[in-house]
Amino acid sequence: MSFQIRFQFYPMTYYMPNEYTLFLDEYKRSPNQLWIMKPVGKAQGRGIFIITNQNQLINWKNSLKGGQENLVNELYIAQKYLMNPLLIGGKKFDLRIYALVTTYNPLTVFFYRTGFARFTSQRYSNNFEDISNMQVHLTNVAIQKNSDTYDRVTGGKWDLRSLKIFLFAKYGRERVNTLFNDIQDIVMKSLFSVQKVIVNDRHCFELYGYDILIDDNLKPWLIEINANPSLTANTEKDSEMKIKMLDDMLTILDLEKIMSGNEDQVGGFDLICRGNVIKKPDNYTYGTMLGTFNNREKQLKTLSKQTASRLAQIHLQKNFNIGSSNISNNNNYSGNAIYNTAANNSNNGNNNINNGNINNNNLIPNQNNQNNNINSTTKNDNSNNNHIAINTLRAKQISYSNNLINNINNNNNQNVNNNTN
């Protein structure tokens, strides 16, 4: 594949009015090509229009505020309009996906598994009489919600996993896997392209919202990148997805400094770059986890246990000179026991965490309990009511570690008393 083809992932774009002359020359070469004009400083579809003739372009330039000397106040993007979008049910759609950049040096990127497709409420048409109908051409919810055919139950959205399954059934696994791999590749290329010009601050992060359009050849196109993506929700499902994503984002940012920093998955976020792009092994079914099942609840519980154990090891090595092998081989410090002790405290209201249904028999004694018989319990995996609320992971990790350390302290104090007697 040539260099030009590999980097041909966004429509021809001009920065207006700075490149007005270049754009006018290109427009004259392809007079039948539609172009879409988008203001730089606006959102939710405001100020967008489609150019169908040269007079529109001239009128737009003449209408700019302040005349020629003040053109900089009206910055626009002129982008070649993709006239062959992939349609589902006769309607146009685009994808909104999320990438979290924690640092640009080295470039560290997490890709969220879950996203959604935004559909128009009216069937797509390139007919001249429909060109000015933004409810045919733009997928923005702010525009679509005013349509008489807008679906308020689904919000005009389809979750990314359902879309991927549909595409599998229609186009086959190989083509769709290539499509989603190319989408992740677009994200990485866009970030590498600005890596050297972004001022890196270790105290900052960016959550980007990528808008991707798929054409009828299953080729993805980068439409725009939102540095401040809208996190408002128009359905309960949409709200739940965004709350969980923000929860996972805060876990990655690790303000409490309890993570190892080497995690390759945190909740629904998968690490796709740390200095270099991370490639999946050849035996993996998918080259990217985008659009796959989001196992965040299970993953967060596993991660919280691992973090609690690691923090306890650090505490023991620092204060009692006990090695990690002694912890892993000692049932008194088992992960299940730690988990259920924290769960018991949570159900008593100490941590305000809902852990679902827990078998609370034979829990580890807390710091005020002198009973030294420690019995591990197991979590009831049949519960379907588990819900990870915001900041739950960090609360769990702290609770697990504190309970483990308290029990270790009790055991050591008892040993000291026995030796004295």
Topology of 12-81 in CATH?
Dna Ligase; domain 1 (3.30.1490)
Q: What is the pLDDT of residues 362-372, one digit of tens each?
A: 333 333 343 33
pLDDT of residue 52: 85
List pLDDT tens digits, range 231-273: 999 999 999 999 999 999 999 999 989 999 999 999 999 999 9
pLDDT recorded at residue 274: 96
Q: Give the per-residue pLDDT at 32.
A: 85
Pairing of strands 107-112, 116-119: unpaired
The model's confidence at residue 53, banded by pLDDT at 50, 70 and 90, is confident
Taking a C-beta distance cutoff of 8 angstroms, is the pair 397, 304 a contact? yes
Amino acid residing at 212: I
% of the chain at pLDDT higher than 70: 72
Of the segments 15-19, 68-72, 298-302, 306-310, which one has the largest average pLDDT value?
298-302
Please check whether residue 212 is in contact with residue 94, taking contact to mean a CB–CB distance below 8 angstroms: yes
Residue 17: asked if its preceding bond is cis (omega within 30°), the reply is: yes
Q: Say yes or no to pLDDT of 280 above 60.
A: yes
pLDDT above 50 for 386? no
Q: Token pair 């429509």 is at which residue?
A: 11
How far apart, in Å, are the Cα atoms of 410 and each of 243, 307, 360, 365, 366?
Answer: 39, 22, 21, 10, 9
The pLDDT of residue 5: 54
Mean pLDDT is lowest, of 130-134, 176-180, 295-299, for 130-134
Structure-model confidence comparison of residues 416 and 220, the more confident one: 220
Output the six-digit token pair for 189: 């290329």
pLDDT, the chain, mean = 79
Model's pTM, two decimal places? 0.77
The DSSP secondary structure of 205-234, one letter per residue, reads: -EEEEEEEEEBTTS-EEEEEEESS-----S
Query: Dihedral of the CA atoms 136, 139, 143, 144 (nearest 10)?
Result: 70
Whether domain 83-293 has CATH 1.20.1250.20: the reply is: no
Of 157, 82, 166, 164, which Cα lies nearest the Cα of 118? 157
Supply 185's token pair: 């590749």
Q: What is the per-residue pLDDT across 195-209, written as a single tens digit (0 to 9) for each?
A: 999 988 888 999 999
Please, is 365 exposed, middle or buried when counting C-beta atoms within 10 Å of its C-beta (0-12, 13-18, 19+)?
Answer: middle
Structural tokens at position 354: 């809902």
Domain residue spans of the chain: 12-81, 83-293, 296-420
Residues with Cβ within 8 Å of 270's Cβ and at least 6 positions away in sequence, in order, are: 110, 111, 112, 113, 264, 289
107-162 pLDDT, tens digit each: 999 999 999 999 999 999 988 888 888 899 999 988 998 888 888 899 999 999 99
* Structure tokens belonging to residue 198: 């972004």
- Region of 390 on the Ramachandran plot (φ > 0 left; ψ -120 to 50 alpha; else beta): beta
Q: Which of 135-149, 180-194, 369-383, 402-416 has the lowest mean pLDDT?
A: 369-383
Report the pLDDT value the prediction gives residue 396, as an integer from 0 to 100: 58
